[in-house]
Amino acid sequence: MIELIVHILLLAGLVISACMVWYMDDLISAAIAFGAFSFLLSLEFLMLQAPDVAIAEAGIGAGLTTAIFVIAIRGTDKDGGCV
């Protein structure tokens, strides 16, 4: 029962954070929302008893991809040119 509640909370958080990525106007905020999406997805993988995939998702998705996005956003302006 408690497992079902955690599943429902995690999936609701996944849907909300995915909608936030689309909704945000600021690119940095969208990148941070994508990092939160990856973190919730790794928790969901852990709940589904795949800790191998969960730690890869936490390392790659929440750590490295967010950092690469933030570095790329800081290196460009709104029209896509170099700063």
Partner 1 sequence: MNMSSLVRSGGANIMMPFILVYGFYIVVHGHLTPPGGGFQGGAVIATAVVLLMVAYSRAEVRASVSKNVLKNSETLGLLLFIGTALLALTAGLAFFGNWLLDAGTLFGTPVAFGINPPGDINTGGIIPVLNIAVGIEVLGAMGILLLAMLGGMKGDAE
Backbone angles phi, psi at 77, to 5 degrees: -100, -170
Residues 6+ apart with CB under 8 A from 7: 44, 47
Q: Nearer Cβ to partner 1, position 14 or 46?
A: 46
Please pick, from the candidates 8, 28, 48, 71, the single residue that binds partner 1 as defined by CB under 8 A: 71
3-state secondary structure of 83: coil
Residues that contact partner 1, how many (by CB under 8 A): 17
Cα(51)–Cα(72) distance, integer angstroms = 30
Would you count residue 7 as binding partner 1 (CB under 8 A)? no
Stretch that binds partner 1, among 4-12, 13-21, 32-40, 49-57 (CB under 8 A): 49-57
| Shortest reach from residue 1's CB to partner 1, in Å | 25
Q: How far apart are the first and last CA of the chain?
A: 52
**Contacting residues toward partner 1, per CB under 8 A:** 51-52, 54-56, 59-60, 63-64, 67-68, 71-72, 74-75, 82-83
